[in-house]
Each structure stands twice: as structure tokens, then as C-alpha cells.
Amino acid sequence: MNFVEEHIFDAPLEAVERMYFDTAFCPRKYKELGLENIKVVDSSDDPEQYFVDCSFVMEPSLPLPGFIKKFLPGGEKISVRQIDRWNTKTRKGELEIQLQGLEKVHIRSVMTLKAHERGAVNVMQWTVDCKIPLIGNKLADFLGKDIRSKAANDHAASVKILQDYL
């Protein structure tokens, strides 16, 4: 499954860059979103290889179908590892999500941060791929819908945090 999300910010591109390229941003956003057990596994603020690798526990925003529950060791809660990488010079990045118990699921977003008529935009090109026989497409579809259902809250948390970078 492939789809595009855009987070538009009514703020200068430079301020949005400072926020996205700050290793404290991701864990702060996760806390703002109410995620649990947030840990920074590793990070680097090297301009050409910036990254932050976090783990956390979250609940899906959509009810889990029964066929998915059998793959998740935590029941309704999912242990997640998310790695955000940016090249701060090109403003291009990549986000990778790993779900415990669903190792055959690959979730990735190629990100481009650029100027927008309202200020700045992060264009996220998502790919959700699942290599589990028989249910792979259904699972990828569910996960894509779950990501899209979280997009507004994710953007709102980023907008709130952005105020500290203006």
C-alpha cells in the first residue's frame, strides 16, 4: 500500500527545520501523543546523517481485527521502534517503523521538507508492505489506515512543539 501525507506548517521553513533536525523532537512528540515507555535507543545530530532511533508502546487508533491480534505479543498494545533519518543539507529524510511481532511488515516513509506558500511542508510518501501469506494485503491496508488516522494528531503535536522553535 502506498499513500502520501502532507504536514503543512504556518511557520518559516528554517523554524520547521530546527524542530525536525533536533534529536529531542521525536521523543517529545511521542510524549505529547501519549505514547508509553518512550526510549531513545540511539541518535546522531551529524548534519549529513542525522537520525533518532526510538522505541515506544502504543495502541492502534482503529480496533484491531482478530487476525492481527494473534501476531501481537502485547495484546492491544504494540511495541514500536521508529527511526527518523534526515540529510539536513538536502532536507530529505526517511522514516522506518518496525512492529514487534510483525517482522514481515515493512513500513517506510520517504520525507521531503520544503518551502510552502503557508511556510513549510513535510511531504511523506508512505509504503506499507507485508509479506505474510494470505493476510498480507489486509494487514498492510489496516496499517495504512491506522497511520492515516493518526496523521492529524501527529501534525497537531508537531505544531504545538514548533512554537518553541519560532
Q: Determine if residue 75 is left, alpha or beta; phi over 0 gives left, psi from -120 to 50 gives alpha, anything else beta.
A: left
Render pLDDT for 89-143 as a digit per residue (tens, 0 to 9). 999 999 999 998 888 999 999 999 999 999 999 999 999 999 988 889 988 999 9
Residue 75 in this model has a pLDDT that exceeds 90: no
pTM of the model: 0.92
Among 88, 74, 1, 3, which Cα is nearest to 44's? 88
Question: How large is the average pLDDT for residues 50-63?
Answer: 91
Sheet holding 119-130, edge to edge: 2-9, 119-130, 105-116, 92-99, 78-87, 50-58, 36-44
Give the max Cα distance, the chain: 49
Domain span including residue 76: 2-165
The pLDDT, as a whole number, for residue 9 is 98
The answer to whether residue 64 scores a pLDDT higher than 80 is no
N-to-C CA span, the chain = 36
How buried is residue 155: exposed, middle or buried, by Cβ count under 10 Å (0-12/13-18/19+)? middle
pLDDT score for 74:
59
What percentage of the chain's residues is helix, strand, coil (to nearest 5)?
30, 40, 30
Q: Among 74, 72, 73, 76, which Cα is nearest to 60's?
A: 76
Position 1 scores a pLDDT of 94
- CB of 99 within 8 A of CB of 105? yes
Q: What is the pLDDT of residue 132?
A: 87
Tell me which of 103 and 20 has the higher pLDDT.
Answer: 20
pLDDT score, position 60: 80
Q: How confident is the model at residue 73 (pLDDT cuts 50, 70, 90)?
A: low
Please give the mean pLDDT across all residues of the chain: 93
Domain count for the chain: 1
Q: What is the pLDDT of residue 162?
A: 98
Task: Tell me the CATH number at 160.
Answer: 3.30.530.20
